[in-house]
Amino acid sequence: MTDYGPAAPHGPDMSGRHPSMVTPNFDMNQDEAKMFDKLLKPDDSYDANGVYWADMSWFKRARFVMHTDAIEARRELGNIWAMAKKDPLAPVGFYFRNMVLPGAGLGLEGYVLFSIGNLKPLFQKGFPACWGTGKGQGTACSPTWLAAIEYMEIVGIIFGQITVGIIGDWLGRRWGLIQDATIMFLGLIMLTAMWGTTYNGWIICYVWSLFFYGVGVGGEYPMTATSGMENAVGSGKISTKEDRLHRGRKVTSAFLMQGWGQFFNQVLLILLLLIFHHGSGNPPYSKVATQWTFRISFAIPAVGTLWLVYYRTFKMKSASKQLQLQKKKSNVTGYDTESLKMTFTHFGGRIIATAGAWYMNDVFFYGNKLFQSEFIGVVTNHSNSIMPGWLYNLVNVGVSLCGYYLASFLIDNKLYGRKHMQTLGFLMDFILFMIPAFNLEYYTSAAHIREFQTMYFLSSFFNQFGPNSVTFIAAAECYPTAVRATAHGFSAAVGKLGALTAAVLYNYIDTQTKFYVVPWFGLAGVFLSVCFLPDTTGLDLKEQERRWAFIRAGRGNEYHGVAVHPKHLSWWERMRGLSKQYDADLDYKQRVEEMRKEWELLMQEKFDEKAGQLNQDDWEDLEHEYSHEVHEYFKKTSRSPVLNGQEKRVPPMSGQNTAPNDAINEKRAA
């Protein structure tokens, strides 16, 4: 007699027999075992014997990783060559679509955010009555409002990071992205047109324009990180090679657009000043040249930001797909407050790592400028021109870009990866600040200023090739999808408190004291990274989501997969005993069973959807259709179902509507 219900692929039975409720006499074959191994043990993470890369000895692991990476590099280079043969500009277009566009918001943010520091020396020379520090100068503007320029900008960023992070998890990534671009566009209009009847009125307008723009800037951090990461992961249930091998590169490549924003800002400021100052970069600088320079420098990115509003509104309609799927799975319609509470309960150590390390990094990031002001004065013999400072800053941004790109190249390497990169970056910055701290006069003398200058550039390099890149990605991928933007925004906001600490602290201590204080933040960053930061390099992000599903259901101790492998947990988590849950064999059995249930559920949903639309006379057609579909499945998977001759009833799905099954079974009984 024909079976009416959807059969399910149960996978290989670990005991040697196949536990099929539909085909009890069936024994699995080798082809089916290979099929499940290919799905559950991909060859970029498991060797031929099914051993996870982190379970291998160090020598075998190194050989496996180098072999896998070599194969992937050849594949990618082959694809690039194939694209180039068809169209020489195709690789450029690919890079633009996959790396530049996802980070366009951060590029524009980097352009404007860092222009504030670049414009300050121009304002000091062009508007001495307001900004000047000489005798009789700087009296037209309130010192409080001048200091508020940096403070209010940072406060706006913190506000945006927290609020937009919550909005991104509540309304979706797409709306957060559109909102950020819109706010930044309006903020740039305000910055371009800012005015005042007095110098002090102009400064007040400048401060509030920066605050408003900062709100949009702050939102870019969680939105770019989460949308870029989830785009790499994809929306299907099966993980992808792009996620496992290139997730970090994809996010870091978007983040490094911030460096390009700084670069283009400095280039344009130099060109604009030369244009409006009659081809000369030397003082004195007129008010007219100063105004044209800074206003045009803000107007140019406004055009790009308006285009970004259009692109995100009409070309990124699926940016929230991953979040929507997660909410549907958890039966959540609004903001998932339950997941937020559980995140602080289960991932408290990770919050200390991502937020704390970001705080330490931002103190260092702003402390890096301490070098520049010291060595430029010696190298240029304390020139009154702003051009040497701008040119040296341009070189420094170029060095930083080298650090960004090397970070994107190695951040997914399983032998190095995120945690080692952040720890080494903090350690090198600590050393590079500590060396001159206790011998500052020696290194700032004319005879040894080159060594000082070298340490400045190296500190910039290791800051990008280290904590500045890793904090951005770690703050997103350490947490579940439901609260990923919130957690990233919170971590970034704590980081900006580090920038605020530096902005306030540096106003009250001299240069020598600054060099005494700053290095210890780097050492604190090393401690936080070693103790509390998990290493998510090579970890399938969907496997982490799978672990979260267990935690969300109150069964966290029943999870035994690679997300609790000692390699992917922090020292703090290992000390709490979480790594003891890892059991590769038991996890494989669980994953096979989960695939069976997912397939049954999918078939049941399809069956219920069609059954609800049919009357009693159409049951025979429905029976035939599903019987055919089941046999097609067996044919594709090389399985030959053996029925024992007994009549089968449709197995009801747990938690599902069983009315269609009951109707079918009643029809059979009749």
CB atoms within 10 A of CB 662: 13
Enter the tokens of residue 494.
Answer: 């704590």
The angle formed by the CA atoms of residues 15, 17 and 23, to the nearest 5 degrees, is 150
The position carrying tokens 């609020």 is 163
Contact 364, 432 (CB under 8 A): no
User: Does the structure show a pLDDT above 80 at 636?
Assistant: no
* Percentage of the chain exceeding pLDDT 70: 82
The rounded distance, in Å, linking the Cα atoms of 268 and 458 is: 25
Query: What pLDDT score was predicted for residue 357?
Result: 97
Lowest mean pLDDT among 183-187, 322-326, 490-494: 322-326
- Measured in whole angstroms, the distance separating CA 488 from the mean position of its chain's CA atoms is 8
Q: Which of 355, 651, 361 is nearest to 523 (CA)?
A: 361
Note if the bond before 284 is cis, omega within 30 degrees.
Answer: yes
Look up residue 385 and give its DSSP letter: -
Confidence of residue 645 (pLDDT cuts 50, 70, 90): very low
Confidence of residue 580 (pLDDT cuts 50, 70, 90): very high
Look up residue 134 and give its DSSP letter: S
User: Does the structure show a pLDDT above 80 at 372?
Assistant: no
Q: Which of 477, 582, 573 is nearest to 530 (CA)?
A: 573
Q: What residues pair up with 46 in beta bridges, in sequence order?
A: 52
Query: What pLDDT score was predicted for residue 241?
Result: 85
The position carrying tokens 């970070």 is 407
| Helix, coil or strand: residue 329 | helix
Q: Which of 252, 538, 251 is nearest to 405 (CA)?
A: 252
| Helix, coil or strand: residue 48 | coil
CA atoms within 13 A on the CB side of 44: 21
More confident residue, 576 or 665: 576
User: Does the structure show a pLDDT above 70 at 626?
Assistant: no
CB atoms within 10 A of CB 271: 13
- Over residues 488-525, the pLDDT tens digits come to 999 999 999 998 898 888 878 888 888 899 899 999 99
User: Does the structure show a pLDDT above 90 at 594?
Assistant: no
User: Does the structure show a pLDDT above 50 at 477?
Assistant: yes
Enter the tokens of residue 417.
Answer: 């990866």
| Helix, coil or strand: residue 30 | helix
Q: How far is CA 226 from CA 274, 362, 456, in A?
A: 40, 21, 32
What is the pLDDT averaged over residues 618-646?
Answer: 49
Query: What pLDDT score was predicted for residue 85?
Result: 95
3-state helix, strand, coil in the chain (%, to 5): 75, 0, 25
More confident residue, 441 or 6: 441
Residues 6+ apart with CB under 8 A from 512: 440
The rounded distance, in Å, linking the Cα atoms of 137 and 146 is: 14
User: Does the structure show a pLDDT above 90 at 34?
Assistant: no
Confidence of residue 369 (pLDDT cuts 50, 70, 90): low
User: Does the structure show a pLDDT above 60 at 380?
Assistant: yes
The position carrying tokens 């020396």 is 121
More confident residue, 122 or 615: 122
Q: Is the dihedral of CA 581, 584, 585, 586 positive or negative?
A: positive
Contact 275, 124 (CB under 8 A): no
Contact 219, 174 (CB under 8 A): no
Q: How far is CA 405 from CA 257, 278, 411, 464, 465, in A?
A: 10, 37, 10, 9, 8
The rounded distance, in Å, linking the Cα atoms of 169 and 99 is: 23
Note if the bond before 24 is cis, omega within 30 degrees.
Answer: no
Burial class (CB in 10 A: 0-12, 13-18, 19+), 665: middle
Phi, psi of 73 (to 5 degrees): -65, -40
Phi, psi of 558 (to 5 degrees): -90, -5
User: Does the structure show a pLDDT above 70 at 659?
Assistant: no
pTM: 0.84
